[in-house]
């Protein structure tokens, strides 16, 4: 805990003394530290691909100038590094947009079942290319929530993409939607949407930190898979705005289940 202390001398007709004023600045300091860490992380994440691109440009201008095979190979790497920077900037913009919207509650009714089906349709080709599939189980009825549809689409896209990415080759991702008459935290009826993979699972010590910006269990693996380290932070912020939350259940070697809990309209 950090305090700012100010001292002033009090000198009136009736009172004489010294006034000490303690202000708790712990939160301000923590917020400042988080902002500094964030800027340092963003700079590092952008600089790594940029350094690679600059290195390859130098090689193409110098030693590899007359080597057409090297041209193709280096240009491919540069394109993939540039896409990485593009994804990172896209995720940073999403995060800042969600933070900006945070105070405005969404007002549009949305059929969550239709939205999940559409997210699955968009990703089924990616799943099939990896020899895997996405299965969906839900009761056949309109499931209305009040939500921003683009943001909700991003939540389920991020979770299903992660399940496919970390689930590995041939993974089977199961998505389910059910409802509860009373969620204990929300104290009202809610929908529970789960995304389960049969991947490597997550050591429980990492679970509380997964939604922190740039927190990755294995940075090398995440980057190799095209991850920015911001996906779950975006999910968390979007769910906060919708009065929802994310629950993560996982065991090492036992796969993972990410459950989104959202209030019913």
Residues in touch with ligand ADP (CB under 6 A): 158, 162-163, 166, 197, 199, 202, 210, 215-218, 222, 227-233, 256
Starting at the edge strand that comes first in sequence, how are the strands of the sheet with 256-263 ordered?
A: 133-137, 172-183, 188-197, 256-263, 245-250
Both structure tokens of 47: 């600089």
CB nearer to ligand ADP: pick between 123 and 202: 202
Q: How far is the CB of 50 from ligand ADP (least distance, A)?
A: 19
| CB-CB contact of 153 with 114 (8 Å) | no
Q: For residue 175, which of 254, 112, 125 has the smallest C-alpha distance?
A: 112
CB nearer to ligand ADP: pick between 154 and 162: 162
CB nearer to ligand ADP: pick between 94 and 158: 158
Q: How far is the CB of 199 from ligand ADP (least distance, A)?
A: 5
What is d(CA 98, CA 151) in angstroms, rounded to the nearest whole number? 8
Q: How far is the CB of 22 from ligand ADP (least distance, A)?
A: 38
Q: How far is the CB of 265 from ligand ADP (least distance, A)?
A: 28
Q: Bridge-partner residues for 189, per DSSP?
A: none
CB nearer to ligand ADP: pick between 56 and 260: 260
Q: How far is the CB of 99 from ligand ADP (least distance, A)?
A: 16
| CB-CB contact of 113 with 138 (8 Å) | yes
Calculate ∠ Cα 20-25-27, nearest 5°: 155
CB nearer to ligand ADP: pick between 120 and 143: 120
Distance from chain centroid for Cα 245? 13
């Amino acid at each position: 805990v950090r305090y700012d202390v100010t001292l002033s001398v009090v000198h009136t007709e009736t009172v004489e003394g010294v006034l000490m004023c303690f202000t708790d600045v712990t939160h301000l300091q923590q917020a400042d530290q988080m902002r500094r860490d964030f800027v340092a992380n963003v700079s590092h994440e952008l600089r790594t691909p940029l350094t690679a691109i600059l290195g390859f440009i130098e090689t193409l201008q110098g030693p590899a100038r007359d080597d057409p095979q090297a041209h193709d190979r280096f240009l491919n790497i540069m394109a993939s590094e540039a896409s990485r920077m593009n994804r990172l900037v896209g995720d940073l913009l999403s995060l800042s947009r969600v933070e900006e919207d945070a105070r405005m509650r969404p007002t549009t009714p949305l059929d969550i079942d239709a939205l999940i089906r559409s997210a699955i349709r968009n990703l089924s080709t990616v799943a099939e290319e990896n020899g895997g599939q996405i299965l969906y189980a839900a009761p056949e009825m309109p499931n209305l929530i009040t939500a921003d549809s683009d943001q909700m689409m991003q939540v389920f896209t991020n979770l299903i993409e992660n399940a496919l990415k970390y689930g590995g080759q041939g993974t089977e991702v199961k998505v389910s939607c059910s409802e509860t008459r009373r969620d204990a935290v929300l104290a009202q009826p809610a929908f529970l949407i789960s995304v389960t993979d049969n991947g490597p699972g997550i050591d429980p010590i990492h679970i509380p930190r997964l939604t922190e910006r740039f927190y990755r269990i294995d940075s090398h693996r995440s980057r190799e898979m095209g991850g920015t380290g911001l996906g779950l932070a975006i999910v968390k912020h979007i769910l906060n705005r919708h009065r929802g939350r994310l629950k993560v259940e996982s065991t090492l070697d036992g796969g993972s289940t990410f459950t989104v809990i959202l209030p019913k309209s």
